[in-house]
Amino acid sequence: MIAVHQDAQTGSRGSRGTFLVAALGTIIIALQLTACRDDPKVSSACAAAIEWRNNLYLGDSFSAGQTIGSRLGRATIPACRDTPDSQETATRTEIRRLRGVRPEVALYVPDEAAVYVRPGYACRPTSKQVICRPAP
């Protein structure tokens, strides 16, 4: 338990109490950061991205529904090395076309059921298709 000094005349906290609260907060944050670093279950902070034909595509947050087209081949999922001790390597994944969308603009990754879009474009699904346009 922390004792906070309170001035009887003004009702304000003294500097000793403020220091104790700040010190305790710092200790708690340091302990949490240490626990996260040592916990192998902590998830990574890398963006969802793939590379295909020397172009980067970023994951988008909508379902492609019935607009999935023909197989295009394989793309590379870059290694996520957001921690100093990461040993992750790049992997390959199947990619497909989205009907009505040029593959230079957006791709579908069946293993993740996800759409990936080139930076500079914005895509949105409709009930029948995915529409992609240059981003404003």
Tens digits of per-residue pLDDT, 93-125?
A: 999 999 999 999 999 999 999 999 999 999 999
- Give the side-chain half-sphere CA count within 13 A for 63: 4
Q: pTM of whole model > 0.95?
A: no
pLDDT at position 44 is 60
| Same domain? 53 vs 105 | yes
Answer yes or no: do 38 and 74 share one domain: no
Identify whether the C-beta of residue 6 lies closer than 8 Å to the C-beta of residue 15. no
Domain boundary among 12, 27, 42: 42
Let me know whether 86 and 111 are in one domain: yes
The pLDDT value given to residue 67:
87
Question: Is residue 120 within 8 Å of residue 134, measured between CB atoms?
Answer: yes
pLDDT at 43: 57
In this structure, are 14 and 75 located in the same domain?
no
Q: Which residues contact 68 (CB under 8 A, 6 or more apart)?
A: 96, 97, 98, 99, 108, 110
How far, in Å, CA of 76 to CA of 97, rounded?
16
Q: What is the pLDDT of residue 23?
A: 43
Which residue, among 57, 36, 37, 60, has the nearest Cα to 104 in the 3D structure?
57
Range of the domain at 7: 1-42
Residue 59 and residue 10 in one domain: no
37 with 84, same domain?
A: no
Residue ranges in the chain modelled with pLDDT below 50? 1-8, 17-41
Q: How many separate domains does the chain show?
A: 2
Q: Are residues 68 and 93 in the same domain?
A: yes
